[in-house]
Structure 1
C-alpha cells in the first residue's frame, strides 16, 4: 500500500510572518514523520496496490488535525486513527461534502 501524508500549509503572506513560517515547517516535518515512521507498517498491508492519502493541518487553536481523503478499508482507517491519536492529533471533521471547515 502506498502511504502519502500531505501537509495543508497556510498561504504565504507578505511580509512573511515568522510564526507562519515556523508552523508550516513544523507541519511539513510532522507529515514526513507520520508517513515514514508511524504509518510505515501500512506499506506492507494488503492489497499492496491500494493507496491511503492523509491530509494534516492546523485547526484554529493550532492543534494538528488529520483526515483520510480517499476510500480505504476500515482496518486501514483504524490504524491511521490509532497512530494519529497516539501522536495527539485530532480527527478533522467536515460538516458536509464541499463545505470548508473553519475549525
Structure 2
C-alpha cells in the first residue's frame, strides 16, 4: 500500500509571519513523521497498487486533526484512527468523512 500524508494549510495566520512559519513547519514535520514512522506498517498491507491518503491540518483552536480522503478498508481506517489518537490528533469532522467515497 502506498501511504501519502498531506499537510493542509488552512490557518488564519499569515505565512510570512514568524508564528505562521513555525506552525506550517510543525505541520509539515508532523505529516512526514506520520507517513514515515507511524504509518510505515501500512506499506505492507494490501496490494502494492492500493493507496492510503491522509490529510492533516489544524482545527480553529490549532489542534492537529486528520482525515482519510480515499476509500480504504474499515481495518485501515481503524488503525489510522488509533495511531492518530495516540499522537493526540483529533478526527477531522466533515459532512462526509472520506470525501472520495462513492465517486466511482
TM-score for the superposition, normalised by structure 2: 0.85
Q: Which runs of 5+ in 1 are unaligned?
A: 99-103
Question: Could you say what secondary structure the match of 2:6 adopts?
Answer: strand
Q: Distance in 1 between matches of 2:94 and 2:36?
A: 26
| Cross-structure match for 1:77 | 77
TM-score for the superposition, normalised by structure 1: 0.86
How big is the alpha-carbon RMSD for the aligned residues of Structure 1 and Structure 2? 2.0
**CA offsets 1:68-101 (integer angstroms, 9 cap, x no match):** 0000000111111010000000000013588xxx
Q: Which runs of 5+ in 2 are unaligned?
A: 100-104
Aligned residues: 97
Q: Which portions of structure 1, spanning 4 or more consecutive aligned residues, are displaced by more than 6 angstroms?
A: none
| Cross-structure match for 1:86 | 86
Distance change (3 Å), C-alpha of 1:67 and 1:96: closer
Corresponding position: 1:3 with 2:3: yes
Q: CA deviation at 1:17?
A: 1.1
